[in-house]
Structure 1
């Protein structure tokens, strides 16, 4: 596979992962002595993919990708394949956990975006026809509105986020639009002025519809997870790792986990002087600072952390593009995979 293009806006869009639990909600209890008559000729609803799992994209070649669901703490993975580059694809899940969506935006010479719908219980992948939306937008090209995202909204409907920037404005100011699928048709539900002039511009994220989308994936950009490490902990870390402050400008952060605090060092982004998670990373176990089992990351490489369902995911955005899942209580490594994209801990079905 050719060198992947790790741009900040693309990564912020596709990567991702926030709070999830390990099991779907339990069904409501039936009162003692009560009976429930089965509905005539009505099939039971499909069961969602349940239990803790790691989600990631694994490249097969330059234009074919596999979406993998790896059960945790162990089990046989389920694989869904589609014809698109992993690093250009975005994932979302339906609220009930029975379906997933892969969105591949128009990139380079390819002017048509593509969407696949994954049925988890049936283990099938089918393309989604965007013809109605594209017709509404007047097609896809340099002088037509651009689809930035297609995802499930909180009600399980397909939502498309679109930018419309007049050519004479040189791609800086325009309208952010939201379209919602209703049956076979698409309807515009929101429009706001927006700026698209830089990576830091809000763009389609100014839309209320965008802000209301479920937070399902791990983000590698934004606020530092956790809080600054207490002075006593920072001193202990400095003593255990002498020379760290002299070698790299930064500070220690503490990330709460079910098994106690996880400490990590922050590095400085040379592009904008912002700070991001990096190594060293340490647990505190039995009063001692210990390394994370099997975690391989070089100084300065960006890390992503996610705590969900009692698990900790560490994603290394570096040469290996590796995901490591740990049990914070035992400090044991559960899964480690390399050369992947869009690692996240599997979201649970949302409660009605």
Structure 2
């Protein structure tokens, strides 16, 4: 899918550098309190530009080291091997050797990953950057650390870059029942919807889909396809607005609402975890950080180790998480040890058990983690994409 399809005002303003292509050099290893985690061994890749391999694919399966214990906490990351080769990495917490779960032939900054509801499988989807490229997808056995290409040429937009006024694949992921679902959008740029008897609609395969009057953005259709025996089957279509911060986009689909989360290199939109800070917290924060933009607001995220405050900053039509970020301890504000962030950087916050994961989508593209109870930083990794907690499995 052309990157223009992701060009929300927020993304354009905040992710110009963060969404650029990964550097060819392998990023530095994770830093934990006990010292740097050993670097993961690099698997061999073969089969051309878009080949995919499991770790040690040229080694007998019996010789592979055992997969990490599923019960331990870990972070999921995408790390670039070169501009068109990417590794899906599992980094244990609070420390330990990173393990490559899957290697694939596509750029990390154009890829998204998702986990099946039981955490045993993964999906990788990479959208094309321009003419002559095609979208790519793989289904991954996370325990065996092997994967296979997913056939997507049968989907609209599955065999090309999805140019203007052509359908394109927006995402591929698991639904809450573990089924593989593709979301396809067809945005009207030069085309115009039909009008008849005061109604505006788009016709698709003999059926009319009404377009709401005054809807934000460009009109178009959002489709949901499910991978079933025999191929992809469309099971939902709705008209919507696209390419505007306030446009509903593919979120109008019930199928989109039923997808498990996907994680990608570009900035997440409309994710402000926590709640508005209390009046007493706002007074304390305003006194500590005077001169904040009145369009923003202070937010509070409750962690197992206490309250974490951060500044919500306006960008486009949304507030987004940013610095300053502070712990509240005994009525006082304390810095996050070693946090790499400055005002107006786009941040994301995720919690799992005692761990806090903070991603910075600015130039340096940092992923960091803290033990919320001890307030100690346990992970600091530059250059990784699509950070998320690795799901726990039975």
TM range (shorter): 0.7 to 0.9
Which residue of 224, 234, 246 maps to 1:200? 246
Which residue of 48, 56, 76 maps to 2:77? 56
Which residue of 359, 377, 385 maps to 1:315? 359
Per mean C-alpha deviation after superposition, the further-off stretch among 174-183 and 107-116 is 107-116
Pairing of 1:76-91 with structure 2 (within 5 A)? 76-79=97-100, 80-91=102-113
Structure 1 Cα separation of the partners of residues 87 and 262 of structure 2: 19
Structure 2 Cα separation of the partners of residues 58 and 224 of structure 1: 26
Pairing of 1:333-352 with structure 2 (within 5 A)? 333-349=377-393
Structure 2 Cα separation of the partners of residues 331 and 194 of structure 1: 44
TM-score (norm 1): 0.78
8 A contact 2:87–2:104 mirrored in 1: yes
Pairing of 1:153-172 with structure 2 (within 5 A)? 153-165=175-187, 168-169=191-192, 172=218
Structure 2 Cα separation of the partners of residues 209 and 255 of structure 1: 29
Which residue of 113, 116, 136 maps to 2:138? 116
Aligned residue pairs, count: 307
Task: Rate the CA distance shift 1:154–1:61 in 2: closer, same or farther, 3 A.
Answer: same
**Equivalent residue for 1:132?**
154
Which sections of structure 2, spanning at least 5 residues, go unmatched? 13-17, 19-66, 194-216
The reply to whether residue 174 of structure 1 matches residue 195 of structure 2 is no
**Equivalent residue for 1:231?**
279
State the secondary structure of the residue aligned to 2:291: helix
Task: Rate the CA distance shift 1:159–1:175 in 2: closer, same or farther, 3 A.
Answer: same
How far 1:200 moved relative to its partner?
3.3
How far 1:238 moved relative to its partner?
3.5
8 A contact 1:138–1:144 mirrored in 2: no
**Equivalent residue for 1:245?**
290
**Equivalent residue for 1:42?**
none
The reply to whether residue 97 of structure 1 matches residue 119 of structure 2 is yes
Structure 2 Cα separation of the partners of residues 84 and 96 of structure 1: 26
Per mean C-alpha deviation after superposition, the further-off stretch among 46-55 and 294-303 is 46-55
Which residue of 252, 259, 269 maps to 1:221? 269
**Equivalent residue for 1:72?**
93
Structure 2 Cα separation of the partners of residues 49 and 117 of structure 1: 19
Task: Rate the CA distance shift 1:251–1:164 in 2: closer, same or farther, 3 A.
Answer: closer
**Equivalent residue for 1:36?**
none
8 A contact 1:220–1:303 mirrored in 2: no
Task: Rate the CA distance shift 1:161–1:220 in 2: closer, same or farther, 3 A.
Answer: closer
State the secondary structure of the residue aligned to 1:154: coil
State the secondary structure of the residue aligned to 1:116: strand
Per mean C-alpha deviation after superposition, the further-off stretch among 98-107 and 213-222 is 213-222
Deviation track 1:263-317 (CA, whole Å, cap 9, x = no partner) reads: 1123232x44x43221111112344321111111122111111112331111112
The reply to whether residue 276 of structure 1 matches residue 320 of structure 2 is yes
8 A contact 1:64–1:84 mirrored in 2: yes
TM-score (norm 2): 0.70
Deviation track 1:50-90 (CA, whole Å, cap 9, x = no partner) reads: 43111111122221111111111222211122111111111
Task: Rate the CA distance shift 1:53–1:234 in 2: closer, same or farther, 3 A.
Answer: same
Structure 2 Cα separation of the partners of residues 246 and 11 of structure 1: 25
8 A contact 1:48–1:121 mirrored in 2: no
